[in-house]
Structure formats: structure tokens, C-alpha cells
């Protein structure tokens, strides 16, 4: 007898964006402005009036980063509302630059985090 193989359906992927409180605090700390300084897209609206913004975790979850406002910045997420867009996507597509700018961190002890572009180049981390 053949044992039937049941396909277990995966639970729908949850895209957690943190608690409403943490998001509100992040927005308030930023005064509604996009904080992706150095990695704004050309059409960044600057502030979140009628635009899609998200709370981005500087130290991401896979690196143990939490949804704590101290670990979050307020960034423009593009016009579509789908996935990461705008300055938020720019941060994730330019990881090394984002790290020296302090917008992204590989763990809480990332030696490149926030060192600045000049030092990043000097040390050969950036081209």
C-alpha cells in the first residue's frame, strides 16, 4: 500500500513590520522625514505626507535586530506599496554603502556600521 503524501500548505507569509507603537515612535522620531540620508532616490518625497513610508530596521531580523525604535528609521518605500521600493530598496540594494552610512548593520557589532564613506573607501570596503 502506498502511503498518500499530503502536501501541507505553508502558512501565509507574514510580513511583520513591528508593532504600531514602534512604527509610530519611529515616525515621530523622524518627524515624518525620510532618513535614508545618502541613499535617497531621486523622487524621494522627503516627508511622508500622502506617501508610503516604512519603519526600516537598521540591524535586520536575521542579524538579531529587533523592532525597537532605537533600531528603526523612517524611510520612503516607493510608490507601489509592494515590497521594498524607493529609498528603502536603495538601502538594501547598496548594502555596503548603507552600512558605512549607518543605515544598515550586519549584527550589533558591525565594524563598518556608520564609519562614513571616506573611511570606508580608505579601508577598501567601498570602491
* Residue whose C-alpha cell is 508610503: 52
- The nearer residue to Zn ion, 74 or 112, going by C-beta atoms, is 74
40 touching Zn ion, by CB under 5 A: yes
112 touching Zn ion, by CB under 5 A: no
With contact defined as beta carbons under 8 Å apart, do 57 and 63 qualify? no
Q: How far apart are CA 61 and CA 22, in angstroms?
A: 15
* Residue whose C-alpha cell is 562614513: 116
Instruction: Report 78-107 residues binding Zn ion (CB under 5 A).
Output: 87
- The nearer residue to Zn ion, 31 or 119, going by C-beta atoms, is 31
Nearest partner of 103 among 38, 26, 41, judged by Cα:
38
- The nearer residue to Zn ion, 117 or 119, going by C-beta atoms, is 117
Q: Which residues bind Zn ion (CB under 5 A)?
A: 34, 36, 40, 44, 76, 87
Amino acid at each position: 500500500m502506498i502511503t498518500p503524501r499530503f502536501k501541507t500548505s505553508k502558512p501565509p507569509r507574514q510580513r511583520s513590520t513591528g508593532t504600531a507603537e514602534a512604527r509610530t515612535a519611529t515616525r515621530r522620531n523622524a518627524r515624518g522625514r525620510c532618513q535614508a540620508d545618502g541613499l535617497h532616490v531621486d523622487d524621494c518625497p522627503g516627508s511622508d505626507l500622502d506617501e508610503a513610508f516604512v519603519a526600516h530596521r537598521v540591524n535586520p531580523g536575521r542579524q538579531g535586530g529587533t523592532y525597537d525604535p532605537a533600531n528603526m528609521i523612517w524611510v520612503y518605500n516607493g510608490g507601489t506599496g509592494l515590497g521594498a521600493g524607493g529609498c528603502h530598496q536603495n538601502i538594501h540594494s547598496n548594502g555596503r554603502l548603507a552600512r558605512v552610512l549607518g543605515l544598515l548593520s550586519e549584527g550589533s557589532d558591525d565594524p563598518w556600521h556608520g564609519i562614513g564613506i571616506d573611511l570606508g573607501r580608505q579601508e577598501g570596503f567601498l570602491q
